[in-house]
Structure 1
Amino acid sequence: MKILILNAGSSSQKSCLYDITAPIPTLAPQPLWEGKINWTQDQNQAEITVKTATGAKLQETIAGDSRQVQFAYLLSTLTEGKTKVIDDLSVINVVGHRVVHGGQDYRDAVIITEDVKQAIARLCNLAPAHNPAALAGIEAIEKSLGNIPQVAVFDTGFHSTLPDAAAIYPIPYQLAEAGIRRYGFHGISHQYCASKAAEILGQNLSSLRLITCHLGNGCSLAAIKNGCSIDTTMGFTPLDGLMMGSRSGAVDPGILIYLLQQYNYSSEELDKVLNKASGLLGISGVSSDLREVIAAKEQGNQRAQLAWDIYVHRLRAGIGAMLASLAGLDVLVFTAGVGEKSAAIREAACESLGFLGLKIDFEKNQQQPIDVDIATSNSTVRVLVIETQEDWAIAKLAAGIAQQCYKLLQQ
Structure 2
Amino acid sequence: MSHALALPPLPRRAAALVPALPLVAVPVLLALPPTGDGAGPADVVSALVVGYCVLRLLRERRRPLSPVAAVVLGLPVVGIALAAMGAASPAAGFGGLCRYLQVFVLVPAAVLVLLRHRADFRVLAWSFVGLALWQGAVGVHQYLTGTGASYQGETVRAVGTFGAQDVMGMATAVSLGVVCAAGIALGRGPVRQRAVAAGCAVVLVLPLALSFSRGAWIATALTCTAQLALTGLRRALKAVAAVAAATVVLVGGFGVGTAMLQERVDSIAAVADAPDQSVVDRYTLWAAATGMWRAHPLTGVGLKGFPEYRDGYATLALSSGSDIEGAGETYHRQALLSPHSMYLLVLSEQGLVGLLTLGGSWLALLVCAVRGLLRVRRRGPGLDCGLVACGLLLWQLTDFVYGDIGGPSTVLTGLALGLVAWWALFRDEPAGDVAGRDGVPARVAEDVTR
Larger relative CO (CA 8 A, sep 6+): 1 or 2? 2
Which has a greater percent of strand? 1
TM-score by length of 2: 0.24
TM-score by length of 1: 0.25
Which has a greater percent of helix? 2
